[in-house]
Amino acid sequence: MADPLDLWILEDDIALCQLIAEQCKRQNWNLQAFHEPRSLEAALAETSPMLLLLDQMLPEKCGTDVLASLRLRNHQFPVLMLSAMGAPSDRVLGLESGADDYISKPFLFRELQLRIKKLIETQAQVKPPSPTPIVLRLANLRFETGLHRIHTDQGHGIRLSRGESALLLAFCLKPNVVISRQALAQLTGSLVDPQRSRTFDVRISRLRRILRELTGGEDLIRPQRGEGYRLEATVLEEGA
């Protein structure tokens, strides 16, 4: 028996998610459902799906905006958009935003199944080039961006989540510069609004705590009241 596909769906229609999940189970596929962008964001900080089914009409923001953020963060998994908006211009907008396919509601599960299989097969045939790893030095730390790992010269290190790694990279690209919360969200391609969600604050706090632990108590990321945060460190690219 072939390994099951690990699929995700971002769709606020809970009943539709349940129906698709039942059909996926019959195909020996795993489907994880999310009903708002912020929950998808939290999950992507730890792992990613083989394919994402993405609804266009979401309560917080439209699917094309979510998709643009995903592609900005270099998430390359296939995305199949689901939408009640089936006009040619709507399909073009979805594809231009980075969708790999677009299916209009209502649809037959058999059609959805065939499209999913086709996208998975196509993805398996494409071998993306291996990214050149970049190692950045800040204070006494080495930040291996490709491995999402930061450690001291003595070898004591911590593996960061993707979200934490993207956040630290944003700081490293603009050291000693105050960056607003909104700008940090944009630089990291965050799907959540930092003014409305505590997810962003939790990520900042954890990253600051990790850096303090590795530097022996030095607070490299300093909050600037009413302005944002600043990385107080010299950042150099190793080997440059």
Q: Which domain holds residue 223?
A: 135-237
| d(C-alpha 192, C-alpha 125), whole Å | 33
The 10s digit of each residue's pLDDT in 37-94 is 989 988 988 889 999 999 998 887 888 888 888 876 778 889 999 988 767 777 777 7
Residue 2 has pLDDT above 60, yes or no: no
The reply to whether 26 and 108 lie within a common domain is: yes
Q: What is the mean pLDDT of the chain?
A: 85
Domain end among 65, 91, 125: 125
State what percent of residues in the chain have pLDDT above 90. Answer: 42
Q: Would you say residue 130 lies in a domain? A: no
Question: How far is the CA of 43 from the CAs of 8, 180, 191, in angstroms?
Answer: 10, 24, 11
CATH no. for residue 160? 1.10.10.10
The reply to whether 22 and 116 lie within a common domain is: yes
User: H/E element holding 39?
Assistant: helix 37-44
Would you state the pLDDT for residue 136?
A: 94
Residue 8 has pLDDT above 90, yes or no: yes
CATH no. for residue 80? 3.40.50.2300
Q: Would you say residue 86 lies in a domain? A: yes
Count the domains in the chain.
2
The pLDDT of 2-24, averaged and rounded, is 92
Cβ contact 177:183 at 8 Å: no
Peptide bond into 106 cis (omega under 30): yes
Domain end among 92, 125, 158: 125
Confidence of residue 157 (pLDDT cuts 50, 70, 90): confident
Residue 180 has pLDDT above 70, yes or no: yes
Q: Which of 56-60, 140-144, 193-197, 206-210 has the lowest mean pLDDT?
A: 193-197
Question: On the CB side of 142, how many CA atoms lie within 13 Å of its CA?
Answer: 15
pTM above 0.75, yes or no: no
The reply to whether 117 and 139 lie within a common domain is: no
Would you state the pLDDT for residue 184?
A: 82
